Amino acid sequence: MEAIPIAVFWVIVVWTLFQEKQVLLYLLFASMSFGSFAAIPTEVTGGLTLTPTPLVAMALIARELGSMRGLATAVQSALKPSGLFLLFLFWAVAGFATAFMPRLFAGVVQVVPVRFGDLADSVLLVPTVQNISQFVYVSISVLSVFAFASLLRAEAMRRHALVALCFGAAMAVFTGFLDYLSQSTGLESLLEVFRTASYALLIEDEVLGGKRVVGLMPEASAFGTLSLSFLVSLYFFRRAMPAGLLRDRGVPVLMALLLLLSWLSTSSAAYLGLGLFGAAAAAEWCWRVIAAGRNPYLRRGVSSEFWLGAAAAGVLVLAVLVVPKVFNPMVEMFDAMVLQKSNSSSFEERGMWTRVSLNSLFATYGLGVGLGGTRASNFAVALASNTGVLGAAFYFLFVAQTVLMRRARQGDAKGQAILSAVRWSYLPPFFTSLTIGTTPDFGLYNAFLYGMAAAVAGTELQRVFRPAVHREARVN
């Protein structure tokens, strides 16, 4: 049975290679919901799980950067300080650390092994196959930023990307409800063929007598984070979408369903992310009122959002006063998954991962143990302990450049709206990753955000290498 979905996946991938490039965008976002599916049998890869998303990303990289023109665009962007130079430096430092640090500090530094096994104890650092696999994953993410930065320079491609984002969100909703319904139907056998990863799959956990929704991801926290990421992106990017049924009807429905699934995942990280999302939405609304100027995309919906928020707050207060017990299940769930989280064994174990990884950074004098050298439960600690202080510095400088410094060209109102969406979409998932991020791979969701920002802000590269596409973008 496992061979059938694998064959179907590869047929779809081969088919997309002969279609327009935007088809790969739709497949990429749709594949993000299949985090427990090994697209290549693990017997062939020696136990390494290759999920669909990085494989689709590799196809996109090959399509966009595989030509001399695409390669030249990528090289110029990598060497341009206002382009992706800082990201390129991060990649170079990460590669150097991975090649030398596991051998230089072998047998003298305590780490937590990246591969799932007995993660309750630390071991001495030694070179492993995880060094290679993690470098491959990070390289795919880095190269995807270059591919997105090139591909999304055309206005038509940006429109396709936003629709593809909705398609990916719909797939997350679909797989989430399939998993939820599997409790009372015979869908378990259907879902099992998509759960073939070699790492541990925590798909049967229960909280307060209810099954945690995991979709087709490895665990509830992964599915909760995925749902949160799509929810946040749809909320902020919808203003840059063209008016129509998708933006005005489809997106609100998807957002409501993603909110529900984030809650049903019972992930403490997702709950934290939802709180951060609410704060970010309120801050973004205030920013739009004060600083958006006359930008029609950013001013869109300011008044209606205020009254909708006020009405929702009023209904909530009224419900608390009239029937306070109706919220008891939600309060119990929040207490169990957030307030009492520090008393759980998983919290203690994850705290140990972060502590040991941070100590490994000090033990290597800030040089790090190389990609795949140790596991943490905090993305920033995982990044610094794996790539060293220098690698982490280059990465976070690149993030600051992307979030704070990139600007759309003068008069590009939609570009300004897209950059605003990138900034606000990045924040809630990032802060969530500081509680659950285990590896230094920033992932393909962030790669999309970074590439989109670089594409909107870096139009001068298009004038050099793609004058025809630039003219098309101006017409659109």
The torsion angles phi and psi of 265, rounded to 5 degrees, stand at -70, -20
- Evaluate whether 298 touches 423 at the Cβ level (below 8 Å): no
pLDDT at res. 41: 86
For 245, counting Cβ atoms within 10 Å of its Cβ (0-12 exposed, 13-18 middle, 19+ buried), the class is exposed
pLDDT per residue, tens digit, the chain (476 aa), is 678 889 999 999 999 988 999 999 999 999 999 988 989 887 887 777 889 999 999 999 999 998 899 899 999 999 999 899 999 999 999 999 999 999 999 989 999 988 755 555 788 999 998 899 899 999 999 999 999 999 999 999 999 999 999 999 999 999 999 988 887 777 777 888 888 887 767 767 666 556 788 889 988 888 999 999 999 999 999 988 988 899 989 999 999 999 999 988 888 888 888 889 999 999 998 888 887 677 888 877 777 777 777 787 787 777 667 766 655 555 655 555 555 555 666 777 888 889 999 999 999 999 999 999 999 989 999 999 999 999 999 999 999 999 998 988 888 888 889 999 999 999 999 998 888 888 899 999 999 999 999 999 864 444 433 443 343 333 33
d(CA 376, CA 102): 17
pLDDT at res. 254: 96
Q: Cα dist. 319→50, 101, 238, 264, 309 in Å?
A: 47, 58, 30, 21, 15
pLDDT at res. 146: 96
Start-to-end CA distance of the chain, whole Å, equals: 46
pTM score, whole prediction = 0.89
